[in-house]
Chains A and B, each alone.
Chain A
Amino acid sequence: MIEGLEWIDWKLGPYHACLPAPMVLRLKLNVDTIVQCEVETGFLYKGIEKIMETRSWQAAMVYADHLDPEAAIFGELVFCMAVEEVMGLCVPARAQFVRMILAELSRIVSHLAFLVRIAKTVHSEVILHYLLRDREKILDLFELLTGARFSLNFLRFGGVCTDMTEGFLERVLEICDNVHIRMREYNDLFIFNDRFLNRTLCLGVLKPEWVLGCGVTGPNARASGFSWDVRKQNALMGYEMLDFAIPVGTGIRGFLGDVHDRVVVRLEEMAQSAEILKQLIETVPSGEYLQEGYAHLKSVPAGEAYVRIESARGVLGCHLVSDGSSSPLRVHFRPPSVGHLMVLPALCEGLSSEDLPLVLASLDIGIAEVDR
């Protein structure tokens, strides 16, 4: 620490190799250590909410896809469920089933992408390509079912767009079996590699009071010891009939809530998603995949709804207001990453500048949903 010298002002962004997404970080450094950090976002602002107000109901659903480009189903799901709540629409069991399968597969995809970003930060190129290869298999499944890899545009009000393709369920089972085998490989090669442990243990500890104060949810909060999961709290979509655990960070190797905990919690969530998928596939409901008559909605009765689901990053909410016309009056999403960004300046204090990319990647910030 050098006395008498001014702090270095460093503006990182909007595009920088160490940032996971377009955003500006204004850092004040004391030679090497970050003293202060300010975050500025808005670079990915697309005006989704405003555009949705000018489109018809079904067309507005497409924009919800772009809340989270990697796991698009969650945006669609939360919007769809909000509209169904306003209308009091019942979704048939088979459609629920398909939605749950897509949600859990998207969770695995999102966590794999998270691991890819972590691997890129520590320059662990071998595991990066293995993770991408495994992610490709699931994206191929999405293409088989919906026709698209990322922006699925598959849900409709009252169900899903089409029935499941033949062979889809068998392939999902293969993926589930694959997940366990691959996780052993990731653990040996990467997660419990000495060098990786050295870099991630006791780093970027997310304290419980920050979690409570900033509204952090999802795997980041679970890694700090809070076992919150909307799938268990609210019974929506059918999760109450499944048996799965909520992985919580333990901090046995480092501190509770450090970067390693956040990585391990997401790995365990992937395993739990595989368990959920296996249980789902055991009992495939038959019946309609779409409630008839609601496919092309001319209007939705006036009303409001607020729905929350557990997306891969945390609690994703949607506040929907309808005034009976052919377009939504107001759609406002509650993204989980807003809380994660808010906690970043506190996390960065005292951090070495070389550790900043790793801490940033470990928070799994989705700028697309923060900026909308």
Chain B
Amino acid sequence: MIAGLGTGFLSNILILFFIYSLVLLPSAALISYCDRKLSARLQARVGPHRTGFLGMLQPFADLLKLLQKRSAWDWSWEDSVWGSFQAMAVYASLAALPLGSALLMDTEMSSFLPFFSALVLALGSLLLGLNQATIAGWLGGIRVVGQVFSGVFPAFIAFLCVGIHTGGFRWKLLASAQGFYPWSWTCLTSPFQLIAFLVFIISGLIILGLPPLEGSQFPSEIDGGVVSHLSGRRWLLFQLSKFYGFLSWSMVTVVLFLGAWSLPDALVQVLEAMEAKILVSLMEFFWLMSKTFVVMLAVIWIASANPRSRVDQMTDFAWRVLSPFALVALMGAALWESWVVF
């Protein structure tokens, strides 16, 4: 799995373990803190400021509170079905992330994995809604499916545009086709790739149910009550699965469109000459993570300032605006590549 580090099986495992436990899993805490502080400042409020310095321990306080909150009813078999799907979604989101040139699982079709995790997430939300045995939950669950289907189509087409540019869907191929500097990123190589980039991000919001295109997944909406009956650990499970889906989608966006983990060539050569392969991997990883966080914060920022759309307005937007743009981008990217390359 970790080809190229060559430092032994155990140290590979240790490195991965540390990366997951110290960076990826706690990224939920970091992003939730940034989200709360950012939204608060935009709304002329202060945000968390009492737990720890500038409220930085707030996510951990929340975690502790949520973990000890018991639900009013026991974990039934329906909850088991839903819970297992959410757990699968979390696993699918996090298991095969491209974390650097050496820390990834690379196959011909490896970059199709985020779609799988997003779809499993949607299935989990559907089951959650149907479980609820109320009208709000039922309507919400059905709406989630409609919403996700409308988002997956343009996302997929936009994704294919990238493959046209890079020549394949291997992570390594995607990363090596892009460089460190912005003009070598996929999204800026041609106007059609830029369109594909925007379509990909927006349809990601639709698929994952992130504001302002949440549609039916907002908890207290009249018919989006998929989440309204959850609290405590189950709510935590739902929110974390959604968050990790968001994280993986943002990371894939960065890898596809925003330069992946590519460091400046000169730097890489110097470090390789010094035989510091681990250092190279770690630097790539942190560069990738910072770009991912920037993308996530940009999404959160834009989300908090806008009112929400209605579900059918959002699916209309996906089918009537995003999909044609994605198809145009696909054809244009194909023509661009054939014209420019030959």
- Same complex for A and B? Answer yes
User: Across the interface, do A353 and B211 meet the contact criterion of CB distance under 8 Å?
Assistant: no
User: Across the interface, do B222 and A356 meet the contact criterion of CB distance under 8 Å?
Assistant: yes
Contacting residue for B222 out of A122, A133, A198, A354, CB 8 A: A354
Which residues of chain B are within 8 angstroms of A190 by Cβ–Cβ distance?
A: 307
User: Across the interface, do A189 and B305 meet the contact criterion of CB distance under 8 Å?
Assistant: yes
**Is A16 an interface position by the 8 A CB rule?**
yes
Separation of A196 and B214 alpha carbons in the complex (Å): 15
Separation of A199 and B218 alpha carbons in the complex (Å): 16
**Is A307 an interface position by the 8 A CB rule?**
no
Separation of A199 and B311 alpha carbons in the complex (Å): 10
Nearest chain A CB to B44 CB, angstrom units: 6
**Is A352 an interface position by the 8 A CB rule?**
yes
Contacting residue for B310 out of A12, A128, A355, CB 8 A: A355
Further pairs besides A122-B308, A129-B45: 7, Cβ < 8 Å: A123-B221, A124-B306, A125-B39, A195-B307, A199-B309, A354-B312, A357-B222
Question: Which residues of A line the B interface, CB within 8 A?
Answer: 8, 10, 12, 16-18, 29, 31-32, 119, 122-126, 128-130, 133, 189-190, 193, 195-196, 198-199, 352-357
Query: Among B221, B224, B228, B312, which residue has the most Cβ atoms of chain A within 10 A?
Result: B221
User: Across the interface, do B135 and A124 meet the contact criterion of CB distance under 8 Å?
Assistant: no
Separation of A357 and B214 alpha carbons in the complex (Å): 17
Nearest chain B CB to A22 CB, angstrom units: 16
User: Across the interface, do B43 and A129 meet the contact criterion of CB distance under 8 Å?
Assistant: yes
**Is B212 an interface position by the 8 A CB rule?**
yes
User: Across the interface, do B44 and A193 meet the contact criterion of CB distance under 8 Å?
Assistant: no
**Is B223 an interface position by the 8 A CB rule?**
yes
**Is B42 an interface position by the 8 A CB rule?**
yes
Nearest chain A CB to B173 CB, angstrom units: 38
User: Across the interface, do B212 and A195 meet the contact criterion of CB distance under 8 Å?
Assistant: yes
User: Across the interface, do A353 and B43 meet the contact criterion of CB distance under 8 Å?
Assistant: no
**Is B71 an interface position by the 8 A CB rule?**
no
User: Given A129-B44, A354-B222, is A124 in contact with B312 using a C-beta cutoff of 8 Å?
Assistant: no
Which residues of chain A are within 8 angstroms of B269 by Cβ–Cβ distance?
A: none
Contact with A along B295-330 (1 / 0, CB 8 A): 000000000111111111100000000000000000
Which residues of chain B are within 8 angstroms of A356 by Cβ–Cβ distance?
A: 222
Which residues of chain A are within 8 angstroms of B39 by Cβ–Cβ distance?
A: 125-126
User: Across the interface, do A17 and B44 meet the contact criterion of CB distance under 8 Å?
Assistant: no
Separation of A190 and B307 alpha carbons in the complex (Å): 8
**Is B57 an interface position by the 8 A CB rule?**
no
Query: Among B45, B212, B222, which residue has the most Cβ atoms of chain A within 10 A?
Result: B222
Separation of A12 and B44 alpha carbons in the complex (Å): 34
User: Across the interface, do B212 and A354 meet the contact criterion of CB distance under 8 Å?
Assistant: no
Contacting residue for A126 out of B223, B304, B309, B313, CB 8 A: B304
**Is B139 an interface position by the 8 A CB rule?**
yes
| Residue on A nearest B211 in the bound complex, by CB | A123
Separation of A163 and B224 alpha carbons in the complex (Å): 52
Nearest chain A CB to B131 CB, angstrom units: 17
**Is B220 an interface position by the 8 A CB rule?**
yes
User: Across the interface, do B220 and A17 meet the contact criterion of CB distance under 8 Å?
Assistant: yes
Which residues of chain A are within 8 angstroms of B44 by Cβ–Cβ distance?
A: 129-130, 133
| Residue on B nearest A355 in the bound complex, by CB | B310
The 9 closest A-B pairs by CB, nearest first: A17-B220, A129-B43, A124-B307, A122-B307, A18-B222, A123-B308, A196-B307, A10-B135, A195-B307
CB under 8 Å from chain A, chain B span 170-227: 211-212, 214, 218, 220-224
Separation of A62 and B313 alpha carbons in the complex (Å): 47
Separation of A353 and B139 alpha carbons in the complex (Å): 10
Q: Could you write out 13 A-B pairs with CB less than 8 Å apart?
A: A12-B222, A119-B307, A122-B308, A123-B218, A123-B221, A123-B307, A126-B42, A129-B44, A190-B307, A199-B309, A352-B310, A357-B221, A357-B222
Nearest chain A CB to B328 CB, angstrom units: 22
Nearest chain B CB to A217 CB, angstrom units: 28
Nearest chain B CB to A256 CB, angstrom units: 22
Separation of A32 and B139 alpha carbons in the complex (Å): 8
User: Across the interface, do A126 and B43 meet the contact criterion of CB distance under 8 Å?
Assistant: yes
User: Across the interface, do A16 and B310 meet the contact criterion of CB distance under 8 Å?
Assistant: no
User: Across the interface, do B309 and A195 meet the contact criterion of CB distance under 8 Å?
Assistant: yes
Separation of A119 and B222 alpha carbons in the complex (Å): 15
User: Across the interface, do B307 and A193 meet the contact criterion of CB distance under 8 Å?
Assistant: yes
Nearest chain A CB to B141 CB, angstrom units: 13
Contacting residue for A352 out of B45, B221, B312, CB 8 A: B312
| Residue on B nearest A16 in the bound complex, by CB | B222
User: Across the interface, do A354 and B43 meet the contact criterion of CB distance under 8 Å?
Assistant: no
Contacting residue for B306 out of A10, A18, A195, CB 8 A: A195
Which residues of chain A are within 8 angstroms of B228 by Cβ–Cβ distance?
A: 17
Nearest chain B CB to A57 CB, angstrom units: 44
User: Across the interface, do A353 and B223 meet the contact criterion of CB distance under 8 Å?
Assistant: yes
Which residues of chain B are within 8 angstroms of A125 by Cβ–Cβ distance?
A: 39, 43, 304
Nearest chain B CB to A347 CB, angstrom units: 15
| Residue on B nearest A133 in the bound complex, by CB | B44
| Residue on B nearest A18 in the bound complex, by CB | B222
Which residues of chain B are within 8 angstroms of A10 by Cβ–Cβ distance?
A: 135
Separation of A189 and B309 alpha carbons in the complex (Å): 15
User: Across the interface, do A126 and B308 meet the contact criterion of CB distance under 8 Å?
Assistant: no
Which residues of chain A are within 8 angstroms of B218 by Cβ–Cβ distance?
A: 123
Which residues of chain B are within 8 angstroms of A126 by Cβ–Cβ distance?
A: 39, 42-43, 304-305
Nearest chain A CB to B314 CB, angstrom units: 10
| Residue on A nearest B219 in the bound complex, by CB | A17
Which residues of chain B are within 8 angstroms of A133 by Cβ–Cβ distance?
A: 44
Contacting residue for B313 out of A12, A130, A199, CB 8 A: A199
Which residues of chain B are within 8 angstroms of A29 by Cβ–Cβ distance?
A: 135
| Residue on A nearest B312 in the bound complex, by CB | A352
Nearest chain A CB to B213 CB, angstrom units: 10
Separation of A42 and B266 alpha carbons in the complex (Å): 76
Which residues of chain B are within 8 angstroms of A31 by Cβ–Cβ distance?
A: 139
User: Given A123-B218, A353-B222, is A193 in contact with B43 using a C-beta cutoff of 8 Å?
Assistant: no
